[in-house]
Amino acid sequence: MLPAELIALEDRYGAHNYDPLDVVIERASGAWVYDTEGRRYLDFLAAYSAVNQGHCHPAIFQAMCRQAEKVTLTSRAFRNDQLPLLYRDLHELTGYEMALPMNSGAEGVETALKAARKWGAAVKGIADGQQEIIVAANNFHGRTIAIVGFSSDAQYRSGFGPFPAGFREVPFGDAEALRRAITPKTCAFLVEPIQGEAGIIIPPEGYLRQAAAICRENHVLLMVDEIQSGLGRTGKLFAYMHEAVTPDVVIVGKALSGGFYPVSAVLSSREVLSVFGPGDHGSTFGGNPLACAIARAALRVIVDEDLPARSAELGGYALNYLKSLRSPHIVELRGKGLWIGIELNRPARPFCEALKQRGVLCKETHASVIRLAPPLTIDKADLDWGLAQIRAVLEKKPSASAEPSAELAEAAASSLP
Ligand SMILES: *Cc1c(COP(=O)(O)O)cnc(C)c1O
């Protein structure tokens, strides 16, 4: 079928809750994707960091096929022979005592919120129904009603109320604001170590360390959402490791499957995850043997190919390259590992369209930021080629007719993830 026909089908029969670039991908390998007409593009988004290991990684593919021949789903009504091995691998890799497997990232976050509230009541002694959780402004934690209910983004909330109570917002990056917001009813602080959807926002040095200390002093759980920042993306296994803290709860997803299948997990202590008893929480697909076999292989690739170190090295290189650009459009560059936000003084979407024409796929976030997050397995030569396309697009002079501020306002509505 022609790409235009596929796009027409999608627009006619599918809900329009996304505004994708019009590239119809048919297959992919490593850092490259191919459209239905055989054109290839360098993937500088990596499915929002779900394919840190590169598309269709052969080791993960093999693990998936082997497991799919044996058994895919048992439900947790019975045990399976893969889940214990995933638990052990997660423990050995991260040091956390226990894990609880789910599917999507949002479910992982919901699970952490439920754990925190139950811990607040059962361990901290907060009256049930009174527990409070503190979140950061401009957070992105997924799309369930509870999660969008504490989003600072009006569009995420609009039309979806009423929302669960019990959440308070503090500015991101301000540890003293966190301290002031804590009350005797506070059970947890949920935060992204680096805010991805908000535009790769890196908090001041020491923020997470101070937040961890404040949480400890107040018997409040520090819960970090590492769904996008984790598993190598920022140049360490987890972004919290840049500050040498030990969060009480870590939420992982996305690259936990290398893009083959939705797999997420909540990692924590025995004390926290023991609040769940049989029947308190669950998921038909969570912890299924196919997901576990895929996740084990995906983690092995991250370790065997030393993806955090690759991310640190290639990311530092890419950021330096971008700093050397002489672009009239760039306002700020922010990056940690191979995760870079290019903040522009005008809408980013036309630049993403121009990059697509040149064979590089990336997506704007929050209207004026281009997010770069290629697979961590990308070859240096491919990265160089992609960066050269970015240079070509960003060093071009703005057209005389463009009215950046009006364009920005208009683009703000259509650029949300
Ligand atoms: C993607 C993401 C989520 C939600 O994950 P889904 O699998 O889309 O539900 C939550 N938190 C962060 C930081 C994310 O990047």
Flag whether pLDDT at 167 surpasses 70: yes
**Measured in angstroms, how far is the CA atom of residue 196 from the centroid of ligand 1?**
10
For the ranges 147-161, 250-264, 389-403, the lowest mean pLDDT is seen at: 389-403
Tally helices (H) and strands (E) across the chain: 15, 15
The tokens for 73 are 């789903």
Give the contacts of 320 (CB within 8 A, at least 6 positions apart).
Answer: none
Catalytic-residue membership of 225: yes
The one catalytic residue among 118, 124, 236, 254: 254
| Residue found under tokens 């390998």 | 29
- pLDDT of 278-305, one tens digit each? 999 999 999 999 999 999 999 999 999 9
Flag whether pLDDT at 31 surpasses 90: yes
What's the pLDDT score for residue 417?
Answer: 43
Question: Ligand 1 test: best mutation among 18, 228, 238, 264, most atoms within 8 Å of CB?
Answer: 228
Q: Which of 271, 287, 304 is the last residue of a domain?
A: 304
Amino acid present at 403: E
CATH number at residue 311: 3.90.1150.10
Phi, psi of 8 (to 5 degrees): -65, -40
Q: Euclidean distance between the first and final Cα of the chain, in Å?
A: 28
Amino acid present at 415: S
**Residue of 23, 10, 73 whose CA lies nearest to 356:** 23
Q: Tell me, rounded to whole angstroms, the distance of Cα 365 from its chain centroid.
A: 13
CATH number at residue 267: 3.40.640.10
Position 201 confidence tier, pLDDT thresholds 50, 70, 90: very high
- Region 200-212 average pLDDT: 98
Catalytic-residue membership of 140: yes
Three-state secondary-structure class, residue 332: strand
Supply the residue whose CA is at minimum distance from atom 5 of ligand 1.
105
| 300 and 206 assigned to the same domain | yes
Three-state secondary-structure class, residue 281: coil
Give the contacts of 70 (CB within 8 A, at least 6 positions apart).
Answer: 289
How many domains are there within the chain?
2
The one catalytic residue among 89, 174, 225, 248: 225
| 62 and 185 assigned to the same domain | yes
- Region 368-384 average pLDDT: 98
| 273 and 395 assigned to the same domain | no
| 313 and 391 assigned to the same domain | yes
**Residue of 85, 305, 336 whose CA lies nearest to 230:** 336
Give the contacts of 401 (CB within 8 A, at least 6 positions apart).
Answer: none
**Measured in angstroms, how far is the CA atom of residue 50 from the centroid of ligand 1?**
10
**Averaged pLDDT of the chain:** 95
| 114 and 204 assigned to the same domain | yes
| 151 and 225 assigned to the same domain | yes
What's the pLDDT score for residue 330?
Answer: 97
| 277 and 314 assigned to the same domain | no
Q: Which of 253, 280, 304 is the last residue of a domain?
A: 304
**Measured in angstroms, how far is the CA atom of residue 142 from the centroid of ligand 1?**
5
The tokens for 273 are 């995850």
Q: Which of 269, 284, 304 is the last residue of a domain?
A: 304
**Nearest-atom index, ligand 1, CA of 228:** 15
Question: Ligand 1 test: best mutation among 52, 103, 249, 254, most atoms within 8 Å of CB?
Answer: 254
Give the contacts of 88 (CB within 8 A, at least 6 positions apart).
Answer: none
Phi, psi of 100 (to 5 degrees): -130, 115
- pLDDT of 379-417, one tens digit each? 999 999 999 999 999 998 766 545 555 555 555 544 444
* DSSP output for 107-155: HHHHHHHHHHHHHIIIII-PPTT--EEEEETT----SSHHHHHT-S-HH
| 40 and 76 assigned to the same domain | no
What's the pLDDT score for residue 404?
Answer: 52
What's the pLDDT score for residue 413?
Answer: 47
* DSSP output for 209-232: HHHHHHHHHTT-EEEEE-TTTTTT
Report the relative pairing of strands 264-268 and 221-225 from DSSP bridges.
unpaired
| 393 and 253 assigned to the same domain | no
**Measured in angstroms, how far is the CA atom of residue 65 from the centroid of ligand 1?**
26
**Nearest-atom index, ligand 1, CA of 147:** 10
**Nearest-atom index, ligand 1, CA of 106:** 9
Q: What pTM value is reported for the model?
A: 0.95
**Measured in angstroms, how far is the CA atom of residue 108 from the centroid of ligand 1?**
9
**Nearest-atom index, ligand 1, CA of 254:** 7
**Nearest-atom index, ligand 1, CA of 142:** 4
The CA distances from residue 396 to 327, 355, 392, in Å, are 7, 12, 7
Q: What percent of the chain has pLDDT over 70?
A: 95
**Nearest-atom index, ligand 1, CA of 417:** 1
**Measured in angstroms, how far is the CA atom of residue 227 from the centroid of ligand 1?**
6
- pLDDT of 321-366, one tens digit each? 999 999 999 999 999 999 999 999 999 999 999 999 999 999 999 8
**Measured in angstroms, how far is the CA atom of residue 229 from the centroid of ligand 1?**
10
What's the pLDDT score for residue 397?
Answer: 74
Catalytic-residue membership of 254: yes
Three-state secondary-structure class, residue 333: strand
Position 229 confidence tier, pLDDT thresholds 50, 70, 90: very high
Distance between CA 248 and CA 257 in Å, rounded? Answer: 23
* CB-defined site of ligand 1, < 6 Å: 48, 104-106, 109, 140-142, 192, 196, 225, 227-228, 253-254
- pLDDT of 123-150, one tens digit each? 999 999 999 999 999 999 999 999 999 9
| 190 and 147 assigned to the same domain | yes
Q: Which residues of 276-314 are buried (b: 16+ CB within 10 A; e: fewer)?
A: beeeebebebbbbbbbbbbbbbbbbbbeebebbebbbeb
Query: Which residue range(s) make up the domain with 382?
Result: 3-53+306-414
| 242 and 333 assigned to the same domain | no
Report the relative pairing of strands 40-43 and 360-361 from DSSP bridges.
parallel
Question: Ligand 1 test: best mutation among 138, 140, 283, 339, most atoms within 8 Å of CB?
Answer: 140
The DSSP letter of residue 186 is E
The one catalytic residue among 44, 89, 118, 140: 140
Sign of the four-CA dihedral 10, 16, 17, 21 = positive
| 352 and 294 assigned to the same domain | no
Supply the residue whose CA is at minimum distance from atom 10 of ligand 1.
141
**Measured in angstroms, how far is the CA atom of residue 329 from the centroid of ligand 1?**
29
Q: What percent of the chain has pLDDT over 90?
A: 94
**Nearest-atom index, ligand 1, CA of 143:** 9
